[in-house]
Amino acid sequence: MRTLNFDNRFYRELPGDAITDNYTRQVKDALWSSVMPTPVKAPSLMAYSSDVAEMLGLSDADMHDPDMVNALGGNQLLPGMQPYATCYGGHQFGNWAGQLGDGRAIYLGELVHNNQRFELQLKGAGETPYSRRADGRAVLRSSLREFLCSEAMYYLGVPTTRALSLVCTGDQVVRDMFYDGNPQMEQGAIVCRVAPSFTRFGHFELLASRGNLALLKQMIGFTIDRDFSDWLQQQNHTLSKDEPSTALIEAWFTEICERTARMIAHWMRVGFVHGVMNTDNMSIIGLTIDYGPYGWVDNFDPGWTPNTTDAQGRRYCFGRQHDIGRWNLERLADALSTILPDAVGLNHALDQYETVYTQSLIDALVGKFGLDTWQDDDGELINRCFELMTRAEVDMTLFFTHLSHINLASPNIADLKIAFYTEQGYTNFESDFNAWLAQYAKRILQSTESIAARQARMASHNPRYVLRNYLAQEAIDLAEQGDSSMIETLLKLLKNPYTQQAGMEKFEDKRPDWARHKAGCSMLSCSS
């Protein structure tokens, strides 16, 4: 196994927990606790992302090296690794939950390659001081979903954490999938996640809630220094690491607001629903993080949520993600306000969230609909389309991939029939859609852009292939039989989500009827 260059700044520069025994507790005055992954029975590599491996300087041979597979399964450390779990809190479903922390994610350290720094994290590697009453493990189905989706999101151009590997542990894990008193044994698995930083809003919130203001300042200083170094270079401020200035903190929070806005606008563009936007699942560097009961919109519906735990309140449904992003940023602002003289700068930053979100969404919609520019009336035109899509049950992905090919001289909704889920939806809304299409065609024909140019622009904003919930479920059903072929197929397909690929037509299909209400396809629960 080649030598890897670890430089574990979080571990070295921030204060750690004095206790090193592994039992559940409140951890004060520290940002991390040392903890070893708990060994598993028989780690085996089910899949890996060769692009992430390459990004980390790992060859295909390295990935198959028994030392590496053991390390990715939590059975062995490679030289330079220093395992720890971090301490954070969070607002869950609108309520302050106190200390949460990495209950089943264990950092291995920070790998530096080509001047880039990556935190490596094993999700499902066993109990930590933050595991509370849970087992620190993850099951194959949820690990596979995180592995595939984070890679798919990356290739869609959505800011996200990445995944290096999916390792089966050979151990069984007990899960009550629907919290209905029917626990079952399932296969355990571990994903090695990779990101420049896994720091969450909740890291800052917990320190503020405990009045630990010196450590809050230190954590902000550390985060700006390590995770925002490129951004910092463009600022007119210098960083005092233990006492970052008010102006710098405000500028930094503005940057966080802008990144969050852009990330969520991307989610809306591609039809991604995170499902658990608790503040402990919000990345400080604006990445999509913690893939749990996420889902992809099939029939366009702003009220849809994949998360059964949220089926009543629909707090985290598709159409509310922008509002929730704002709410979460306000909670981060509350934490930062404990060390600032007033909230004026923070409020400006929140305004900036709205401005950047609106602009990013407009850019996305202009691209999705193939408009030349944004005109005042376009909002109304688009809203009418979304309203009809919702009421008629129209598939989001198929609608947009086919919209670019309608005949503008005599547009007819029949050309988009493939996107309708029911015959009834089609017949009931046929005339409404035709009226809309006539208006839409008129609007498009105002432009002098060539058809080919418009189609190319639309194709670059509208994914042809997304990780539909039923596709992930099919990959899971096979993987549970030890067959990773569909993971490989999907990984390859989703690397080029905007390009039509020969022989891959069936992956464009809308959700089949069997998947409409099937567990795993339209219904998922939290932490599995």
Q: Is 21 annotated as a binding residue?
A: no
**Pattern of binders to Mg ion over 327-346, x per CB under 5 A?**
--------------------
Residue 488's SS3 state is helix
Contact yes or no for 426/388 (Cβ under 8 A) = no
Choice between 274 and 510, CB closer to ligand AMP? 274
Contacts of 234 (CB under 8 A, 6+ apart): none
- Residue 104 interacts with which of ligand AMP, Mg ion, none, CB < 5 to 8 Å by class: ligand AMP
Stretch that binds ligand AMP, among 45-53, 273-281, 315-323, 467-475 (CB under 6 A): 273-281
Q: How far apart are CA 403 and CA 19, in angstroms?
A: 60
Q: What's the closest the beta carbon of residue 353 comes to Mg ion, in angstroms?
A: 22
Contact yes or no for 308/293 (Cβ under 8 A) = yes
Q: What's the closest the beta carbon of residue 519 comes to ligand AMP, in angstroms?
A: 18
Q: Is 128 one of the binding residues for Mg ion (CB under 5 A)?
A: no
Q: Is 200 annotated as a binding residue?
A: yes
Q: How far apart are CA 260 and CA 356, in angstroms?
A: 9
Helix-strand-coil percent breakdown of the chain, rounded to 5? Answer: 45, 15, 40
Please say if 280 is a catalytic residue.
Answer: yes
Catalytic hit among 17, 280, 298, 310 = 280
Q: Is 276 one of the binding residues for ligand AMP (CB under 6 A)?
A: yes
Choice between 204 and 426, CB closer to ligand AMP? 204
Residue of 170, 178, 390, 352 whose CA lies nearest to 271 = 390
Stretch that binds ligand AMP, among 134-142, 219-227, 347-355, 452-460 (CB under 6 A): 134-142
Q: Is 102 one of the binding residues for ligand AMP (CB under 6 A)?
A: yes
- Rg over CA atoms, the chain: 23
Greatest distance between any 2 Cα atoms in the chain: 73
Task: Give the footprint of ligand AMP on residues 30-89 (CB under 6 A).
Answer: none
H helix runs in 307-393, sequence order: 321-337, 344-369, 378-392
Contacts of 178 (CB under 8 A, 6+ apart): 308, 519, 525
Among 86, 281, 473, 522, binds Mg ion (CB under 5 A): 281
Among 22, 150, 187, 281, binds ligand AMP (CB under 6 A): 281
Choice between 171 and 280, CB closer to ligand AMP? 280
Q: Is 290 one of the binding residues for Mg ion (CB under 5 A)?
A: yes
Choice between 276 and 317, CB closer to ligand AMP? 276
Stretch that binds Mg ion, among 37-45, 156-164, 290-298, 337-345 (CB under 5 A): 290-298
> HSE (CB half, 13 Å, CA atoms) of 272?
29
Contact yes or no for 395/297 (Cβ under 8 A) = no
Q: How many other C-beta atoms can be found within 10 angstroms of the C-beta atom of residue 374?
A: 14
Q: Is 393 one of the binding residues for Mg ion (CB under 5 A)?
A: no
Q: Which residues bind Mg ion (CB under 5 A)?
A: 281, 290
Q: Which residues bind ligand AMP (CB under 6 A)?
A: 100-104, 130-131, 134-137, 276, 280-281, 290, 292, 526-527
- Catalytic site positions: 280
